[in-house]
A and B are shown apart, each in its own frame.
Chain A
Amino acid sequence: MIVGDSKPLEEILEMIEGRDRVLVLGCRGCVTVCNVGGEKEVGILATALRIARKKRGLPASIEEATLERQCDPEYIEELAEVAEGYDAIVSIACGVGPQFVAERFPKARVFPGINTTFIGGALEHGVWSERCQSCGNCLVHHFGGLCPIARCSKSLMNGPCGGSANKKCEISPEVDCVWHLIVEKMAEMGRLEELERVWPVKNWITSRDGGPRRRVREDLKQ
């Protein structure tokens, strides 16, 4: 899923300063799963904004809505009658949400209420870890199912570097050295020899480095 962090309340209050009618807009996709932008979090943020604005003697008209997804125009369309009536829409979907809403409703002022951080998964309740950098050419099966691009701080294809100590990355004791994990896993699987291969220079053209990406599926297009 796409994982995000809530923006500090102060930052959101500053964004919407001087805007009376505010809509907090959630999404039932990834951000619901990672507990940062679903219906529940819409309620929490709206309440916090109301209290803070009231305290400061400001208009506290904060409305709430949550769409099925904010990355799909068909759901954004549900706001057609109301969107441009707000002075501010605070989208707490991933970075796609505020862009799709702003694109559909050119007169609306749309603000991002969360910071989108990474593509990852839940390790336990309340803990997520980055797992994919969407490089556009998945090779994890060569590395025991672990991704060196997303999980090595230097994206080394031929790691581990000299900074690997006690299974941790040189940048922080909080970060696992994925290359240590790869070597261990490949050894366990009896596949260590495969790591002797000198991985050639990677083609990053399928990654963000090749420019903003777009996919056209002729089989699905109408």
Chain B
Amino acid sequence: MKAGSNLEKVLAAGHFAVTGELGPPRGNNAEEVRHKAHFLKGIVDSVNITDNQTAVVRMASWAACKLLIDEGLEPNYQMVCRDRNRIALQSDILGATALGIKNVLCLSGDHQRFGDHPEGKNVYDLDSVQLITVFKKMRDEGKFLNDKELDGAPGVFIGAAANPFADPFDYRVPRLAKKIAAGADFIQTQCIYNLPKFREYMKRAVDKGLHEKCALLAGITPLKSVGMAKYMAKFVPGMDVPEELVKRLQGVDKKAQGEEGIKIAIEMIQEIRETMPGVAGVHVMAIEWEHRAKEIVEGAGLLPRPVV
């Protein structure tokens, strides 16, 4: 075991893993974090805590992670390279693991031009691939990036993201391979809506044997409405929402669209699980819809979660 996190154990035992996601509040409302966490308890193996996602200021990811630990859930600490240099990134992983955080997700981070402080200066001292190498070195060699010895190495299960739908498509699997070569233990993908394209991506990944080196988790986000589907298709860079999905949602009454979105999510999980070799689990991102996560995971036949 590299970190001994629940997620690592679930995957090591050969179970189909389920991770969730929780966005910290835009304030210091700890109760809000506990409230959302309560919907995910027992439903997922670990919960990603986003790090100022879309470059909008929110409660620090590590702090929300700690609130989850106190509630008996396991967090995945998301860390972006946008806001911190190598000093702060290394310092934060030491602090986070000292607080009991065992999973980390290394990301470049959305550019701040999207967010609520577009006038800010960014950092990008490292990129996400380099961040993986730094954490791996700290964990496996007990050394800082500068080769100085650590007084206590961070045992951490290292994750990274992959977007099978960004361009150029032919380079997506090679880049995934690069993250795995850098030291990623698990990968969570961007939201999948275009299954044929994801199938092709997975085929190429499996052909390279990547699924044997790293756990690949497929990203699932339920569509709440036609509006959300159209917004994702049009405004979220690197998102691929096929027209037939939008049409399917349009085909039902407005009030039933959420229900339909959940049905779609369940069908997708089942299809991925049953027909795509090499997928080790799903990452269910029920954004601001944490209370519906259970329906999805249960509907997909993934409850109860294994105790390992």
Contacts and interface: CB of A to CB of B under 8 A. Distances in A.
A196 B111 CA distance: 24
Contact of B167 (A153, A160, A192, A198): A160
Given A162-B162, A170-B110, A198 B181 contact: yes
Contacts of B29: none
A204 interface: yes
Q: Which of B127, B145, B181 has the most CB of A within 10 A?
A: B127
Interface string B117-134: 000001011111110011
Given A161-B108, A163-B110, A177 B167 contact: yes
A54 interface: no
B181 to A, nearest CB: 6
Contact of B130 (A164, A166, A183, A201): A201
B194 to A, nearest CB: 13
Contacts of B13: none
Interface in B158-195: 161-163, 166-168, 170-171, 174-175, 177-178, 181-182, 190
B163 A155 contact: no
A199 B168 contact: no
A157 B127 contact: yes
A95 B40 CA distance: 55
Contacts of B181: 196, 198
Nearest to B129: A158
Q: Which of B126, B128, B166 has the most CB of A within 10 A?
A: B166
B104 to A, nearest CB: 17
A180 interface: yes
Contact of B125 (A164, A200, A204): A204
Interface string B85-126: 010000000000000000000001111011000000010111
A204 B124 CA distance: 11
B283 interface: no
B249 to A, nearest CB: 22
Nearest to B167: A164
Nearest to A184: B168
Given A165-B238, A200-B130, A171 B114 contact: yes
Nearest to A148: B127
Interface string A159-199: 11111111100111000010010011001000010011011
A156 B182 CA distance: 15
Given A154-B81, A158-B130, A198-B178, A180 B122 contact: no
Nearest to A181: B168
B237 interface: yes
Contacts of B111: 153-154, 163, 170-171
Contacts of B171: 160, 183, 192, 195
B82 interface: yes
Contacts of A177: 167
B138 to A, nearest CB: 13
Q: For this complex, into which size category does the number of interface residues on chain A fall?
A: 20 to 34
Contacts of B130: 157-158, 198-201
Contacts of A162: 108, 161-163, 166, 190, 237-238
Interface string B255-277: 00000000000000000000000
A150 to B, nearest CB: 12
B113 A171 contact: yes
A201 B81 CA distance: 12
A164 B81 contact: no
B234 to A, nearest CB: 11
Contacts of B182: 158, 198
Given A166-B167, A201-B133, A196 B177 contact: yes
B82 to A, nearest CB: 7
25 contacts: A154-B122, A156-B108, A156-B127, A158-B129, A158-B175, A160-B166, A160-B167, A161-B108, A162-B108, A162-B237, A163-B166, A163-B237, A164-B168, A165-B238, A167-B167, A170-B110, A170-B238, A180-B167, A192-B171, A192-B174, A196-B178, A198-B130, A198-B178, A200-B130, A201-B133
Given A183-B171, A201-B133, 20 more contacts: A154-B108, A155-B124, A155-B127, A158-B129, A161-B108, A162-B161, A163-B111, A164-B238, A165-B166, A165-B167, A171-B114, A180-B167, A180-B168, A184-B168, A192-B174, A196-B177, A196-B178, A198-B133, A199-B129, A200-B130
Closest 3 CB pairs of A and B: A162-B163, A158-B129, A170-B237
